[in-house]
Structure 1
Amino acid sequence: MNILMVLTSHDQLGNTGHKTGFWLEEFAAPYYVFKDAGATLTLASPLGGQPPLDPKSDEAGAQTEATGRFKKDPETQKALAHTVKLDTVSATDYDAVFYPGGHGPLWDLAEDQKSIELIETFYAAGKPVAAVCHAPGVLRHVKAANGEPLVKGKSVAGFTNTEEEAVQLTNVVPFLVEDMLKENGGTYSKGADWAPYVVSAGNLITGQNPASSELAAHELLKQLAK
């Protein structure tokens, strides 16, 4: 199993002067689910190198078993510090792709032409495409083979408007994930705020929030086992 994980390179939270990036739990939990299942992992980001970590995801209240494991794992820290440039990867080399969230992807990966093409290629080939929390935002401009939005008519989940409101960033983000998925014709559904919630539409897997990342990773493995 060769799995590609795509992380953001964007570190500015709009014009607030605060930092953002990827959310640690949403990288660490899936990473270890895949690693423990024997997968070979490649980490990529638009700029390559060390992707920016959302400092809030490093605070005490955001820590989990997976983030604790990451902090004691120099090998994975090194892999993360040396992500390959996104424009050097080819979908043909991988069996699946996973996008961790954090607010960063809303600015770069959602608009990144290479990322859009990659998702379209993975999806068309029937390979699992998974994204959690803010990462379903990367589907914003992704098209199906018929030229319509990929999410149109499909069951999708993603960070809710009420969760965005709770972190007080509704007026900072370039777009709201829930609204975008609905506007693109997705059949959006959600669980309780901050509770694990994942939906699959064929080989498209989307999760609602950080708590959904491990569940989404297991769902991806389930699809690969078919």
Structure 2
Amino acid sequence: MSDSPKVLVVLTSHDKLGDTGKPTGWYLPELAHPYSILASHGFDFDFASPKGGPAPVDPASVENADEESKAFYAKNSSLWEDTAPLQSFLGRADEYAALFYPGGHGPVFDLVENPTSQTLIQEFLAKGKVVAAVCHGVAALLGVQDPESADGTPYLKSKAVTGFSNAEEEDVGLASAVPFLLEDKLIEAVGTNGSYEKAEDKWAQKVVVDGKLITGQNPASAKGVAEAIVRAVWGA
């Protein structure tokens, strides 16, 4: 790894929201804000997606974005218009300080059962790297096995995590459009010795750090996830 720590960002390739006919993808502020924070702390980036090539941004997240995110979108389209296929990053965890999955509804369709993504996460974990996700991006962790387990124990078992809540999914009217409710799946995954945590109020920031695992609940948590990545990498 070079003197500048590098983050591998994994974006969804999925652009359709179930059978609703609505477009989806990754959620703009959940990339824009972490990118700004990490870049300001000297991080470099590579961008990947399951299919490679253009990674679709959820158009609603562009329309409703804050000014900082809109400025990022206007200037940085090359980052997500030419992503590399996930497969090309296997065996390269030593090159990176962290792995980061932004949210948006796309990940619950194409990153939950993606074997390449699961292997990638396991490789980063085995190397002691930071693994971070925010909102629906946390769904990518659901099928991952603990790299230190010989019997296929799920990585999330007994962990403390957060992710998009059922109440928030109900608020956006998409509880019936997604293949599962992420809060329910995370509660099931962590088991009785783990914990799913969420903010007292819907849409408030919530970041959970469990060792090198960093998760954020919703778009408001994206900045906090990036700040936690900085602390984890720099040891601050």
| Category of TM-score, reference length = shorter chain | over 0.9
Partner of 1:54: 58
Uncovered stretches (5+) of structure 2, i.e. residues with no partner: none
- For the 8 Å contact 1:22–1:104, the answer to whether it is kept is yes
Partner of 2:99: 97
2:70 counterpart SS class: helix
Output one character per residue of 1:184-222: Cα deviation in whole Å (capped at 9) or x when no partner: 124101002111110011000000000100110110110
Residue 165 (1) aligns with residue 167 (2): no
Partner of 1:199: 208
Residue 84 (1) aligns with residue 84 (2): yes
* Farther-moved stretch of structure 1 (145-154 vs 157-166): 145-154
Partner of 1:37: 41
Identity of aligned residues (%): 46
Offset, 1:148: 1.3
- For the 8 Å contact 1:32–1:66, the answer to whether it is kept is no
Partner of 1:180: 185
TM-score, with structure 1 as normaliser:
0.95
Offset, 1:2: 1.0
1:107 counterpart SS class: helix
Distance 1:58 1:72, change over 3 A: closer
- For the 8 Å contact 1:152–1:187, the answer to whether it is kept is no
Offset, 1:41: 0.4
Counterpart-to-counterpart distance in 1, 2:96 and 2:9:
10
Offset, 1:31: 1.1
Offset, 1:68: 2.8
Counterpart-to-counterpart distance in 1, 2:129 and 2:67:
29
Output one character per residue of 1:64-101: Cα deviation in whole Å (capped at 9) or x when no partner: 2431331342xx22122111111101322211111000
Offset, 1:46: 0.8
Counterpart-to-counterpart distance in 1, 2:20 and 2:73:
28
Residue 19 (1) aligns with residue 23 (2): yes
Partner of 1:113: 115
Offset, 1:161: 0.3
1:134 counterpart SS class: helix
The count of residues paired between Structure 1 and Structure 2 equals: 222
2:72 counterpart SS class: helix
Counterpart-to-counterpart distance in 2, 1:205 and 1:7:
17
Counterpart-to-counterpart distance in 2, 1:28 and 1:153:
31
Uncovered stretches (5+) of structure 1, i.e. residues with no partner: none
Partner of 1:131: 133
Q: Which of 198, 201, 204 in structure 2 is aligned with 1:190?
A: 198
Counterpart-to-counterpart distance in 2, 1:174 and 1:9:
16
Counterpart-to-counterpart distance in 2, 1:5 and 1:109:
13
Q: Which amino acid aligns with 1:175?
A: F
Q: Which amino acid aligns with 2:53?
A: G
1:67 counterpart SS class: helix
Counterpart-to-counterpart distance in 2, 1:202 and 1:69:
33
- For the 8 Å contact 1:158–1:207, the answer to whether it is kept is yes
Q: Which of 217, 222, 226 in structure 2 is aligned with 1:217?
A: 226
Offset, 1:169: 1.1
Output one character per residue of 1:85-134: Cα deviation in whole Å (capped at 9) or x when no partner: 11101322211111000000001011111110111111122111000000
